[in-house]
Chains A and B, each alone.
Chain A
Amino acid sequence: MASEVAATGATRRRARARIARPKPTLLLGLTIVVAMLLMALLPHIVAPYDPSKFDYDAILQAPSAAHWFGTDNFGRDVFSRVVYGARVDLQIALFTTLFPFLFGTLMGALTGYVGRWLDGIFGRIVDVVMVFPFLILVIAIVAMLGPGLRNMYLAVSIVGWVYYARLVRGETIVQKQSEYVQAARVMGYSPARIVFRHIFPNAVTPAIVYWMTDMSLGILLGASLGYLGLGAQPPTAEWGVMVADGKNFMVTAPWISTFPGLVLTLAGVGFSLVGDGMADLLRPKS
């Protein structure tokens, strides 16, 4: 028994350390994500300049002590814009994934538990969504709705929930066969109670893990649409838009696009490392 093993304080401490010590990659990921959060929450403290203030006396300046990431063709401080960009891009990470996560897990649990015709309809939806490249589908929907952040969230939500639903559906079907669910059924609990009180908490784990990874994908997607001109619109300080702003200065002033892109990549790495780390921690030990 666990209580016998952990009889002394020393062994208990060791046991806890063995279970809870996260991998260095997870710590690195968390550090990056926290840094990004700080930039997003307190940009006015981190950023030395106003991100949208034109300064025609300081156009296209190379990185220096005064302007760490240089200035763009309007004399705006690239570092300050990158800092303020965190707010937009983290918002993108959240809003491109929140609805898909909520609706997708709910639908996954329902289709998995009910089965029959509901599962049939869901299967068809999955087939259709899978034969489109995600980006193409989102772009096509944005094309119909018009460019902009709000329509981008809408487009991603229309498609994105399917991935979560697939995960939770599979897990629900597994849980449905388990003994505790049969026991709950024998006790005469209602289907709603069985699904939401018993199966759902057990089936939702892979969706939560995927959520972290998906935030990384969401940031990249949002920035890609921003770059194409279909997401955030200039002069918004969004990393993808900023990379696009600098694309005509790749030879004369490469820092305009290089730094926002680097920070964007860093954010992607951070979220995906946290996702991987959580997957390791939450995966049942075999």
Chain B
Amino acid sequence: MIPTLLVILILVFAMVRLLPGDPAVAILGDRVTDEAVAKIRAELGLDRPLPVQFWYFFERVLRGDLGNSINLKISVIRLIQDRLPVTLFLTLYAGVLAAVLAVPAAVISALTRGSWMDNLTRAIFQIGLSLPVFYVSLQLLGLFGARLHWFPVGGIGPTPASNLYYLFLPALSLGFYLAAILMRNLRSSILEVLNAEYVDFARAKGIRPRLVLTKHILRNALISTVTLFGLSIGQLMGGAVITETVFAIPGVGRLMVDAIFGRDYAVVQGLTLAFAIVIMLVFLLTDLVYTVLDPRTKVA
């Protein structure tokens, strides 16, 4: 994990250095005085050799200093502190909605294998795999927001709890793709488990069908799905860039797009790093959950 983080730091450092022209100008923007450029050059140590520059960068990141946003006149770390929670909430909300959609659908589809129910469910989720997030977002926004006024047309609510309502459409459009992936995976693992001898045995013992389903079938089938869920959280955060842009949600995703168009490179740099760190933590968490679900892996 530490070596990976180091490589990521080098990449993020290199991002701005790879820009054509003077990084100081890139960071400050074009319309600046020569003194300002000279000041930032000295501050960043741009007149020193690259390894020394990297060391400075490294030191600053360790101190939690990611530089300042030129457009918003505020430190990047503050921006991340303000906006990351919104994106994390949205991502988590989308993940929960995805699971709520996928698990029952997978169970019904697997238990009625080959029926019209199964085919219909699979067709819907197959389309879900190919529905672009920006398109779903825009359609839901147009229909339930602008036309029917059931939901707000953008932004976030005044309180965290109200965001369950405010962010419902964004979370749904973001989560649908994940739901499709999870449903597919869970359906096939349920079908695999259904044929296992311990399921036959549990039934033969006379255990109630509902208990066989929850304790014996789902518990085992969910193991690979949980891993997939953890691995997909990163892609979900990527999708948040689009959802947040469509719904005008002040999270880090929209900030990233704004920063790109505003040529606010310190922000792009800081956010890239933040995304990587969050996802590394999610992977770690996934590993932990995995050992809880599947005690066999504890030995390793």
Contact = CB atoms under 8 A, between A and B. Distances in A.
B4 A240 contact: no
A229 B139 CA distance: 19
B130 A216 contact: yes
Contacts of A130: 234
Contacts of B135: 243, 257, 261, 264-265
A250 B130 contact: no
Nearest to A143: B260
Interface stretch (B71-79, B141-149, B185-193, B215-223): B141-149
Interface residues of B, number: 45
Interface stretch (B57-65, B204-212, B273-281, B286-294): B273-281
Contacts of A254: 142
Interface of B: 3-4, 7-8, 11, 15, 18-19, 126-127, 129-135, 138-139, 141-142, 146-147, 234-239, 241-242, 245-246, 256-257, 259-261, 268, 272, 275-276, 279-280, 283
Interface of A: 124, 127-128, 130-136, 139-140, 142-144, 216, 220, 223-224, 227-230, 240, 243-244, 247, 250-251, 254, 257-258, 261, 264-269, 272-273
Nearest to B147: A251
A135 B238 contact: yes
A124 B256 CA distance: 26
B267 to A, nearest CB: 10
Q: Which of A127, A216, A223, A273 has the most CB of B within 10 A?
A: A127
Interface of B is mostly: helix
B276 A144 contact: no
Contacts of B235: 133-135
Contacts of B133: 224
A230 B242 CA distance: 12
A159 to B, nearest CB: 11
A135 B61 CA distance: 24
Nearest to B5: A131
Nearest to A127: B4
Contacts of B239: 133, 135
B257 A228 contact: yes
A244 to B, nearest CB: 8
Q: Which of A135, A243, A272 has the most CB of B within 10 A?
A: A135
B272 A136 contact: yes
Contacts of B146: 250-251
